Structure 1
């Protein structure tokens, strides 16, 4: 079957138009009684292309994000299948890799099971698989954020995660903040979560010094997808900075790379996701009020709202983190060197990964009402004061 797949890929993957895809799909389905073998061979070829992508710095979430953006849901499901199949090779996977699982049993059954799941013909499916392959082989090299599966060096890395009990408290606070319809309550809950994260950073730094554990900063990628991706990137950068991490946005592939220690990366991902949910909800409520007043410029309103929300909230997050660290250092001045060393390590790692970065000019916030409403939404989340109030309860 390998020769059939070779001919199909040669016809389909190196042409820009759909004629090549159709020619390749025709090759794959030409001998209908051999479809089971073709399906198995396509799985094997997909695993090869994925391995090449991993070695060029990509990770499963990055690939799926790109497939979701550029192709269709059927392509996304097939990409998930290929990732699950490739992951079987390894006894242990890197952190944040994939939870995709093989659902089709033996690989010889994949072709027919795929037809049943997608409820379409073999020719269409063959073309869909080849489109996924074409996307994979065109992926450029990007900065790696961790070891690839099977790399023995990955097993030697030690990461200090947020302690499970603390992680549970943070998640619970953010879940309540997302669920409440009272802005003041959401503000206090989010502020308390940020304070817990900041305190955990201090504790982790001190514990590493006392134990003599050699830890190095890591990195992760977080999706920053359209629409309003510029405002989202600003918000993520604010959350990263408040949690002693560094963020670099890649607009072409809709993600930001966040550099920091593992527990801080977990905190950034949790808080960014929650604040984005909260900001979107606040924007929807504000927009409804604007519409009730007869306004219809929703796109400019949303862009301006989210930019103002991200900009002002960044200040609030920084205030909360600074107050927390200042209080801790005031109690024990000897804690400061450990925090400074942690910051230096993160900055050095970020500069090593991204020696050449550029600044981006954001599209202007042209809707005054959107800017004012977004600023007001962030102002209500006065992180430092709210955190103190919540701590006294």
Structure 2
């Protein structure tokens, strides 16, 4: 088959002869308009194999797209999304787990073309490519995906059984109702022009998430919930990916999660319990936006646009956020241990202190550590250097001003 021959040649070509292999393969595929429908049909059929191999190797939809975004061009990205959509036709709509479905929605995967024979022609027309350019783009994409190594899986692939029953309710299918409320509170906090209102909204979100996490720990201690640690991947890209990873680690650590950084692929794997992972992702995203805004504002004068200043700023920001989150987590845990319980409607009730709480939280932290050891038996630590004192001071000041209470609470347990 022409496609298999071209793909095999490109996959096995050394870097020094890659251009020749690409030109030869693309010429073979695009040789005549008459064979183009057959090539189109073969491409979408090959997607089942190429994309399915990536799923089996531990990769997820957002991961494959992230790799393409980092290494290739926008047209490759559009083609990647289409091939993921084509492969998805093999699976029932309800087969993937909740986070898998969320990633597909965010990528806006859809089979928009009419008939597999006409897909390549339709794509070429949409992106203004000739047959040779599109064939080259296809082979470059398949080479990038075909050379990806196996990585630690963070959930079931389509067709595999989920580790536990999917949760229901909320605007995102499977999302816990409490998390949906917190997400709504944070959206309001970020959109309001009044700092006092934003602080109140984020504080309420924080309290709700903290109580939700504690409730889950107590359910597990009572044997009513056999939840186990899970994992997700969060993209962390340049510039300053080291300090960004430190910020993510600060958020995760305060919420009894662990972070493992895969620098070469531009993502971190976060290991923790399911509800905690959702909170970590929400809070990290919010704090990263706040840090970027603060950095841009601080970068308007003197030497603040230098790489040393900006690196030091973000390292200090992450370090100070770690301190604030740790303090907030300790306060929330102490309140819960004393029997102060926050209802879902925001009111508080006084219960008898529950002596199971602290051992339950410790058990969950231990379970997370064990899961990290299972997934990543060989880990190394890495230091990030600070070389600008002014940037460090500015970063800590910005972290002190960050409105993290609401999001922190979401993550805390």
TM-score (norm 1): 0.89
User: Matched residue of 1:249: which SS?
Assistant: strand
Offset at residue 60 of structure 1 (A): 1.0
Aligned to 2:370: 348
CA contact (8 A) 2:98 2:166 kept: no
Distance 2:362 2:165 in 1: 21
2:264 is aligned, of 232, 252, 256, to: 252
Which residue number in structure 2 is paired with residue 391 of structure 1?
A: none
For residue 186 of structure 1, report the CA deviation from its aligned partner: 5.6
Q: Distance in 2 between matches of 1:249 and 1:224?
A: 9
Distance 2:365 2:408 in 1: 24
Match of 2:350 in 1: none
Q: Which residue of 1 aligns with 2:28?
A: 27
Q: Equivalents in 2 of 1:22, 1:341: separation in Å?
A: 57
Corresponding residue for residue 114 of structure 1: 123
| 1:201 shift after superposition | 0.8
Q: 1:8 aligns with which of 6, 9, 12?
A: 6
Partner of 2:388: 367
Distance 1:359 1:46 in 2: 37
The Cα shift of 1:159 comes to 5.3
Contact 1:40 1:107 in 2 (8 A): yes
**Aligned partners of 2:303 and 2:259: how far apart in 1?**
36
- Which residue in the other structure is 1:309 paired with? 317
The Cα of 1:209 is off from its aligned counterpart by 4.0
Distance 1:323 1:160 in 2: 29
Q: Which runs of 5+ in 2 are unaligned?
A: 340-352
* In structure 2, distance between residues paired with 1:190 and 1:18: 53
The alpha-carbon distance between structure 1 residues 385 and 256, as it changes in their structure 2 partners (threshold 3 A), is: closer
Match of 1:358 among 364, 377, 380: 380
Separation in 1, partners of 2:198, 2:388: 26
Residue equivalent to 1:274 = 286
User: How far apart are the structure 2 equivalents of 1:300 and 1:188?
Assistant: 36
CA shift in 2, pair 1:385/1:206, >3 Å = closer
Question: Given that residues 218 and 356 in structure 2 are in contact (C-alpha distance below 8 angstroms), is that contact kept between their aligned partners in structure 1?
Answer: no
How far apart are the structure 1 equivalents of 2:366 and 2:218? Answer: 15
- Deviations 1:238-274, CA, capped at 9 Å, x for gaps: 1111122111111111111011111111111111111
Q: Tell which deviates more after alignment, 14-23 or 93-102.
A: 93-102
Please give the root-mean-square deviation of Cα atoms over the aligned residues, in Å. 2.4
* Structure 1: gaps spanning 5 or more residues: 389-393
Asked if 1:96 corresponds to 2:99, the answer is: yes
User: Partners in 2 of 1:174 and 1:252 — Cα distance?
Assistant: 32
Look up the match of 1:85: 86
Q: Secondary structure at the residue paired with 1:247?
A: strand
- Number of residue-to-residue matches in the alignment: 379
Q: For residues 269 and 201 of structure 2, what CA distance do their matches in structure 1 show?
A: 27
Q: How far, CA to CA, are the matches of 1:170 and 1:385 in structure 2?
A: 8
Name the SS of the counterpart of 1:221 in structure 2: strand
TM-score, normalization by structure 2: 0.85
